[in-house]
Amino acid sequence: MTIDTRIQPVILCGGSGSRLWPLSRSAMPKPFISLGGQMGHTLFQHTALRVQGAGMLPPVVVCAEAHRFYVLNQLEEIGITPAAIILEPQARNTTAAIALATEWAKTNSVNVPLAILPADHLMGSPAEFQESLKAATAHASDSIVLFGINPSFANTEYGYIQLGENIGGGAHKVIKFLEKPNRASAEMLLVSGNHVWNSGMFISAPELLAREIFEYAQDVASKVSVAWDKRRSETLLHTEVIRPDETFGEVPSIQFDNAVMEKTQHAVVLAYSGRWSDIGGFAALAEALPQDDSGNSISAPEDSHVLVPDTIGSLIHSSVPNKIVAVHGLSDAVVIDTADALLVTTKSRSAGVKSIFQSLQAARAPQAEFHNRVHRPWGWYETIVKGPGYLVKRIGVIPGGRLSLQYHHHRAEHWTVVTGTATVTKGEEILTLNPDESVYLPLGIHHRLENKSSSDMVEIIEVQTGKILVEEDIVRVEDIYHRT
C-alpha cells in the first residue's frame, strides 16, 4: 500500500493591525501590508510561497470576510490557486479557525497532516522549513507537533515551551508552556538550554486535532460544527469561497494554546533553528530589514528621499512618494510616515503603539481602520480633499476591474479620466472615455466604471457633491464580486 506523504497547509490570517500602526490598520492587518525593503512580497505571500513544491497540497486559507479580496488578489499575484478560502463571519480566535480547517478536511476526505501556519511570520529558506515539516510528519499521526524556535536572546514578547523527553528525530515531549516572561525570567530560560520560543506553528492529523478540540473545547467544536453544516459556498475569482453560517459568531473566542495545547497529552515540540520572526513590532521589523553602516533600517518608495545624518540604529519608513523625510541626530528612533498618519517613537518603547491604536479606535478615527489608499477587488481609491458639500477622490481600476452597477441617494458625481480608457455605464448609455474626457452622473442614476484593458490601469478623478458624502451611500444593483 502506498503511504500518502503529502501535507495540507492551512494558513490562518488574523490580526487587528495594532502592533504596526500606522503601517497596518484594522482593514489591512500585518499579513497583507507591504513592509518595504528587500522583502518584496507581503508576509502572507511569503507564507504561501513557503509551502509550495513537492508534497505540498494547495493551501487552505482561513480569513475574515473583509480580507477575502486581499487573499485572492495577493495569491493571484504569485500564481497560487488555493484549495479553498474559508471566511470567518466574525473573528473568534485560533481554536475556532483550526476547528473550521478540520471540518473542511472531514468534508473533503483529507486525511493527510494539516500544517497550521500563521500568515504573518518571516522565515528563511522555504526548503529548510519544508524539511522540518516533513520530519514532523513522523509524529503527526498521534501527536500535535509544535515548532519551537531555538532562542537567540532573552525575548520577553514570546511564549516559551519547556522541553521534556527526547522521543527521536529531534522531537521532545512538552513539559509545560510558559507565558511571556519578564526580563529576569527570560534570561534564566535562555541559559537553561531546555526552552524554546513558541512559534504558533504546528502539524497534526486532522482527526486528532478535531478530537482534541472536542475534548478540551467542546463548546467551540459543537458551535463550529453547526455553523459549518449551514455553510454557503461560491466560486469567486476561480476559487472556492466558503462562508460558515452567521451562528459562527456564537463560538467562544479562545486561543488554541489555552484551549488545547496546555491540556492535551499529545503535545510534542520539534526545534527549528532556521531564521524566524513574527514581526511582532517595529524592533523586529527593523531587524528583518537591511541595515546601513550606522545600523539604520530604511524603507521608502524609489522616488522619495530619506536623509539620516548622525542617526544610529533607527527604523525610518516612508510610504509617501515624492517626499523627503529627514531624521537628524537620533538613536533607536522609529519614524513611520504614511499619507495620513505619522508615528515617532523609539524601538524600546514602540510596543506602546498598541495603546495609541486602541485610542484611535475608541475615537472612531478612520486612520485606525483604513489607509488613505483603500483597496477594493477592482483596484483602489484615495481621498484627495474633503470640504463642506464636496469630496474629491482619485480612483484606480486594475486591468479587467469592474465596479458594481450602483446608484446613490445623497450625491452626484463628476468623473474625469486621467489615465487609460474607461468604459462608463450611465443609465442606458455605454460610454468610452479617454484621458481629459469626463462625464456627469446625477443623483440617483445607475452607473458603473470599468477597465476593459488587459494591461493598462484606468485612473479617474471623482468629484462628489451633496449633503451626505459617505461610503455607506452606495446601493449596488449588480456586482461581479458578490458584495452586498
Strand ranges of the sheet holding 475-478, from the earlier edge strand across to the other edge? 429-433, 422-426, 447-450, 405-407, 475-478
Rounded average pLDDT over 237-256: 94
- Is pLDDT at 129 greater than 50 in this prediction? yes
- Is pLDDT at 252 greater than 60 in this prediction? yes
Concatenating the DSSP letter of every residue in 77-111 gives: HTT---SEEEEESS--HHHHHHHHHHHHHHHTT--
User: Measured between alpha carbons, how far is 481 from 198 in angstroms, rounded to an integer?
Assistant: 38
Q: Name the residue with cell 490580526.
A: 15
What residues have CB less than 8 Å from 424, skipping those under 6 apart? Answer: 415, 430, 431, 432, 433, 439, 447, 448, 449, 450
User: At 271, is the secondary structure helix, strand, or coil?
Assistant: strand
Average pLDDT, the chain: 94
**What's the pLDDT score for residue 157?**
86
pLDDT digit string, tens, across residues 298-318: 998 888 889 999 999 999 999
- Is pLDDT at 90 greater than 80 in this prediction? yes
User: Measured between alpha carbons, how far is 224 from 342 in angstroms, rounded to an integer?
Assistant: 41
Residue type, 461: I
Nearest residue to 147 via CA among 158, 156, 136, 159: 136
The total of other beta-carbon atoms located within 10 Å of residue 176's CB is 11
* pTM of structure: 0.90
Phi-psi map region of 309: left, alpha, beta (phi>0 left; psi -120 to 50 alpha): beta
Fold of 8-277: Spore Coat Polysaccharide Biosynthesis Protein SpsA; Chain A (3.90.550)
User: Measured between alpha carbons, how far is 251 from 99 in angstroms, rounded to an integer?
Assistant: 11
**What's the pLDDT score for residue 1?**
46
* Angle of CA points 48, 371, 452, to nearest 5°: 70
- Name the residue ranges covered by the structural domains of the chain: 8-277, 293-363, 373-478
For residues 42 and 24, the answer to whether their CB atoms sit within 8 Å is no
Superfamily of domain 373-478: Jelly Rolls (2.60.120.10)
Residue 419, exposed/middle/buried by CB under 10 A (0-12, 13-18, 19+)? Answer: middle
State the pLDDT confidence band at 37, using cuts at 50, 70 and 90. Answer: low
What residues have CB less than 8 Å from 14, skipping those under 6 apart? Answer: 29, 64, 91, 93, 94, 97, 118, 119
- Is pLDDT at 470 greater than 90 in this prediction? yes
What residues have CB less than 8 Å from 126, skipping those under 6 apart? Answer: 49, 50, 51, 52, 53
